[in-house]
């Protein structure tokens, strides 16, 4: 699966990390310092990498930041969009970042053909359909000393939030002044499938799948279970973000988010984590075959169901879920 040809990831949209106070809060979560640089945190704790693979690199801005901060010497970037790959290649040349860029479908690409020390997942894995196949291939490519650095959305797939979670969001929104409430709408599944069926396609499987092949040596739950959707396209609060009233209400939203998530990676919509390839990651052939079979069955069912893994029926503010795959 891939996005509609007209879909633009770099369209003007207000996300929660467009608020400076939120980015400061996220930076503090990872580094312990307000507005801390999470890339420099990686460099300080794990050193620099020789060559890093950036999956779904888009126009390449993430690896250029890594290069500017002295984390990498070379880049390998992959993306399904030829236009974005060409832009990334050109901008890498402008800043003197050596490496190569490849047009590749992550779901089918054989990453073992590449050579890198790190895999950097910056909001990429939640777009992968064959998540087990892809992560396994990357882990094989890295070898026993390889490292995965991940900063991604790991919340409910296709943003189909549970009734408890959605109710908590609505309760917090109701407390806000009218001008700061924004337009909180439950994500419409049919629209997501039509415009970008890869969006959060298997986001809630990321942690479990990565743990199959990597020892997770550091994980930081970043929250978002309340704030992420309330702040999405919230023009009123965004315009007031530097004013005392706006900052106070934003702080209350983030406090509610923290209380709901309570530091639990499973309740958090976003997680930062670092993993090292397990020494015995590929020793159990029967288990590997079982995971492959499970994934193939899941995707076959989805094809037969017009791209759906779970159907959500919405009415009067309530959401009913009909899940056709118990592994999701």
pLDDT of residue 6: 56
Q: Give the separation between CA 118 and CA 72, rounded to whole angstroms.
A: 9
Report the CATH number at residue 20.
3.40.50.150
Other Cβ atoms less than 10 A from the Cβ of 27: the count is 18
Q: How far apart are CA 137 and CA 205, in angstroms?
A: 16
pLDDT for 318: 47
Query: Which residues partner with 119 through β-bridges?
Result: 53, 148
DSSP, res 167: H
Please indicate, yes or no, if residue 313 is contained in any of the structural domains. no
Q: What is residue 193's predicted lDDT score, i.e. its pLDDT? A: 86
Q: Does residue 159 lie within any of the structural domains?
A: yes
Q: What pLDDT does 309 receive?
A: 80
Instruction: Output the pLDDT for position 5.
Output: 58
Cβ neighbours of residue 4 closer than 8 Å, sequence gap 6 or more? 194, 195, 196
Report pLDDT for 192. Answer: 85
Is 37 inside any structural domain? yes
The pLDDT averaged over each successive group of 10 residues in the chain (328 residues) is 60 89 96 93 96 97 97 97 96 98 96 97 97 98 94 96 96 97 92 89 97 97 97 97 97 96 91 97 98 96 83 44 41
Q: Three-state SS string across 51-107, please?
A: EEEEECCCCCHHHHHHHHCCCEEEEEEEECCHHHHHHHHHHHHHHCCCEEEEECCCC
pLDDT of residue 219: 97
Torsion of CA 62, 32, 26, 42, to 10 degrees: 20
Residue 321 lies in a domain: no
Cα–Cα distance between 227 and 180 in angstroms, integer? Answer: 13
Asked whether residue 298 is assigned to any structural domain, the reply reads no
The number of folded domains in the chain is: 1
Cα 321 to Cα 16, 99, 189, 310: the distances in Å are 26, 45, 12, 7
DSSP per-residue codes, 174-215: HHS-GGGS-------HHHHHHH-TTTTTTGGGHHHHHHHHEE
CA 160, distance to chain mean position in Å, is 15
Q: Scanning the structure block, which residue is given the tokens 């017009």?
A: 306
What is the pTM for the complete model shown? 0.90
For the purposes of burial, counting CB atoms within 10 Å of the CB of 113, is it exposed (0-12), middle (13-18) or buried (19 or more)? exposed
Asked, for residue 275, whether it belongs to a domain, the answer is yes
For the chain, the distance separating the N- and C-terminal CA atoms, rounded to the nearest angstrom, is: 18
Domain that holds residue 257: 16-286
- Report the pLDDT value the prediction gives residue 259, as an integer from 0 to 100: 95
* Phi/psi of residue 99, nearest 5 degrees: 140, -160
Q: 118-122 and 147-153: which strand pairing? A: parallel
d(CA 281, CA 316): 47
Q: Which two tokens stand for residue 52?
A: 């890093």
315 located within any domain: no
CA distance 115 to 117: 7
Residues 6 or more apart in contact with residue 128 via CB below 8 angstroms: 106, 107, 134, 135, 198, 201, 202
Query: Length of the chain in residues, anyone?
Result: 328
8 A C-beta contact, residue 224 and residue 155? yes
């Amino acid at each position: 699966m891939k996005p509609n040809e007209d879909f633009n990831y770099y369209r003007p949209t207000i996300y929660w990390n467009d608020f400076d106070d939120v980015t400061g809060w996220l930076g503090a979560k990872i580094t312990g310092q307000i507005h801390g640089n999470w890339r420099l945190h990686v460099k300080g704790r794990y050193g620099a990498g020789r060559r890093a693979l950036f999956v779904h690199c888009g126009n390449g801005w993430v690896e250029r930041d890594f290069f500017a901060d002295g984390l990498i010497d070379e880049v390998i970037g992959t993306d399904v969009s030829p236009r974005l790959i060409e832009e990334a290649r050109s901008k890498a040349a402008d800043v003197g970042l050596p490496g190569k860029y490849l047009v590749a479908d992550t779901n089918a690409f054989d990453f073992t053909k590449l050579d890198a020390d790190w895999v950097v997942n910056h909001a990429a894995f939640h777009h992968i359909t064959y998540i087990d196949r892809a992560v396994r291939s990357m882990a094989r490519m890295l070898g026993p000393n390889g490292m995965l650095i991940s900063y991604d959305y790991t919340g409910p797939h296709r943003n189909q939030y549970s009734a408890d979670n959605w109710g908590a969001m609505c309760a917090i929104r109701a407390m806000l002044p009218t001008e700061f409430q924004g337009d909180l709408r439950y994500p419409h599944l049919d629209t997501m499938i039509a415009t970008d069926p890869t969006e959060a396609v298997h986001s809630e499987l990321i942690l479990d799948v990565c743990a199959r092949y990597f020892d997770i040596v550091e994980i930081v739950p970043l929250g978002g279970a309340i704030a992420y959707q309330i702040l999405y396209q919230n023009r009123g609060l965004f315009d007031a973000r530097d004013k005392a009233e706006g900052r106070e209400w934003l702080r209350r939203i983030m406090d509610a988010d923290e209380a709901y998530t309570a530091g639990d990676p499973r309740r958090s919509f976003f997680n930062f984590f670092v993993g090292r390839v397990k020494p015995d990651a590929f020793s159990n052939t029967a288990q590997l075959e079982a995971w492959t079979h499970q994934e193939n069955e899941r995707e076959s069912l989805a094809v037969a169901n017009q791209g759906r893994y779970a159907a959500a029926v919405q009415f009067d503010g309530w959401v009913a879920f009909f899940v056709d795959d118990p592994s999701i």
